[in-house]
Amino acid sequence: MTRRPGFDPGSLVSGVIVIVLGALLLLDQTDVVDVSFAYMVPTVLAAAGGILLACGLAGPSRDE
């Protein structure tokens, strides 16, 4: 596995979004918060949109 030089903000933002979504699901499973299906679908779609936006704003890799 070769490392790309430079900072990749798309991967960082994507990772943070996935961690926050996972924490929300974990809190729902432990009954700390009650998240119904009606609230979870827009949250998952917003997370997917945020990941796509972050990767799109990051631009192409430096190798291209």
Other Cβ atoms within 10 Å of 45 Cβ, number? 10
Q: If you average pLDDT over residues 7-16, what whole number do you get?
A: 83
Spatial separation of the C-alpha atoms in residues 51 and 17, rounded to whole Å: 7
* Residues 24-60: tens digit of each pLDDT: 999 999 989 888 889 889 989 999 998 888 888 877 7
More confident residue, 55 or 19: 19
- pLDDT of amino acid 12: 86
Size (the chain), residues: 64
Please determine, for residue 4, whether its predicted confidence score (pLDDT) is greater than 90. no
- pLDDT of amino acid 1: 62
Spatial separation of the C-alpha atoms in residues 17 and 14, rounded to whole Å: 5
CB 9 within 8 A of CB 54: yes
Q: For the whole prediction, is pTM greater than 0.75?
A: no
